[in-house]
Amino acid sequence: MGITERKEREKGERKALIMRCAGELILELGVEKVSMMDIARKAELSKATIYLYFPSKELLFEEICLKSGNDFIDYIQEKMTPGLSALEMMKLLWVSYLEMFGESEDMMILMFNNIRSYLESAFFFGKEKENIPPYILYVLLKDILEQGVAEGVFEPSINPGMVSRTIIALFSYIIESAARIPKEARKSHVTTDEMKNIFEIMLRGIVREGFDRSRLTLPGSIRPNHEE
């Protein structure tokens, strides 16, 4: 391996270290309390080195969100085996969300606040947005809804694109509201259950008449024993 290749590898490893340490601190302290100095100490690097890779905390957190979003999409797509019905895929989306973010209040808020920053463009997606996680999620939802219409599960009159954007917008609004609550008063299962209720209401509103609505029930959050 040449000197240039070794330096590039070392830069990549250091960047990954910074992001990993920042993510661990977010889970430990909460989004608002993490400083660049905290990240530098945990990574055993100078603060100047952190800024060399990430000029601001906002840009660092945005990249963490981007990675989390891409990991989420990859996680879902690995589970989307051929032959699944639209309803099975909708439930799989929800279960995947619970498995990755359901018990991580701060990471959930960080990720969805980042998604919220794309909401305006989410209503006017262009090709320049096609590789960002919110757009990929939008397309995935839209494809599932179109499949559900073809399967006779969802009403043929629905607009799959508009329904997909509405789901993303409502989820982001719930997360934005949760972010305003003081950290000590937050309960991740409350936010998750609210998202579950919204998701079920949306599904009930778009299924065809006569469909067994009991099949639309989604799993709830896992509540720690000390929470009521």
Nearest to 198 by CA among 227, 228, 225, 174: 174
**Residues 47 and 71 both lie in one domain:** no
Q: Looking at residue 225, what is its pLDDT?
A: 42
Instruction: Summarize pLDDT for 100-138 with one digit per residue, the tens.
Output: 776 665 566 665 555 555 544 444 545 456 677 778 888
The pTM for the full model equals 0.75
Q: Is residue 221 situated within a structural domain?
A: no
- Residue ranges, the chain, pLDDT below 70: 1, 102-130, 175-188, 221-228
Query: Quick count: other Cβ atoms within 10 Å of Cβ 177?
Result: 11
**Residues 102 and 187 both lie in one domain:** yes
Q: Looking at residue 122, what is its pLDDT?
A: 47
Domain boundary among 55, 78, 95: 55
Q: Which residue has the tokens 């469909």?
A: 211
Domain boundary among 30, 55, 80: 55
Total domains in the fold of the chain: 2
Q: Which residue has the tokens 């008063």?
A: 185
Give the Cα separation of 62 and 64 in Å (integer): 5
Q: Looking at residue 49, what is its pLDDT?
A: 94
**Residues 77 and 41 both lie in one domain:** no
Q: Looking at residue 175, what is its pLDDT?
A: 67
Q: Helix crossing, 105-116 with 3-29: angle to 10°? A: 110
**Residues 127 and 88 both lie in one domain:** yes
Question: What CATH code is carried by the domain that includes residue 18?
Answer: 1.10.10.60
**Exposed e or buried b for every residue in 107-124, given b needs 16+ CB within 10 A?**
bbbbbbbbbbebeeebee
Q: Looking at residue 228, what is its pLDDT?
A: 41
Domain of 26 in residue numbering reads as: 1-55
DSSP E strands, the chain: none
Domain boundary among 55, 75, 100: 55
